[in-house]
Amino acid sequence: AQKITQTQPGMFVQEKEAVTLDCTYDTSDQSYGLFWYKQPSSGEMIFLIYQGSYDEQNATEGRYSLNFQKARKSANLVISASQLGDSAMYFCAMRVWSGKLTFGQGTILTVHP
């Protein structure tokens, strides 16, 4: 079975600063994919970034980057230059070959002006 752990229920960051949201995972599969989604208060789920287990480089998408440390089974999301609109719930998720996504409990990020 797969498990995703997000140990930070809430995080605060000052506007324009960088913030790291933690995610650790557990699986016995060698092939897997890791995702980060953003959920604003409206409830929609917005895909941010993807990292494959065999990808040698850390994924980046604009202000988002994924700090992938395979040996430590961690896939932390780094948001650079935080904006007020980044305030939301953030979920880490993992997929193995069954196709199902397993989600963590989420981290609420609050960006202060």
Partner 1 sequence: DGGITQSPKYLFRKEGQNVTLSCEQNLNHDAMYWYRQDPGQGLRLIYYSQIVNDFQKGDIAEGYSVSREKKESFPLTVTSAQKNPTAFYLCASNTGTGLNYEQYFGPGTRLTVT
Tell me if residue 31 falls in helix, strand or coil: coil
Taking the complex as a whole, how short is the minimal distance between the CB of residue 14 and partner 1, in angstroms? 24
* Interface with partner 1 (CB under 8 A), residue from 23, 66, 88, 104: 104
Burial class of residue 90, CB neighbours in 10 A (0-12, 13-18, 19+): buried
Residue 42 CB contacts under 8 Å (≥ 6 apart), including other chains: none
d(CA 42, CA 81): 23
Site string for partner 1, 47-76 (x = CB under 8 A): x--x-xx-----------------------
* Interface with partner 1 (CB under 8 A), residue from 42, 56, 57, 72: 42
Please report, as ranges, the residues that interact with partner 1 according to CB under 8 A.
Answer: 4, 9, 31-33, 35, 42-45, 47, 50, 52-53, 91, 95-97, 99-106, 108
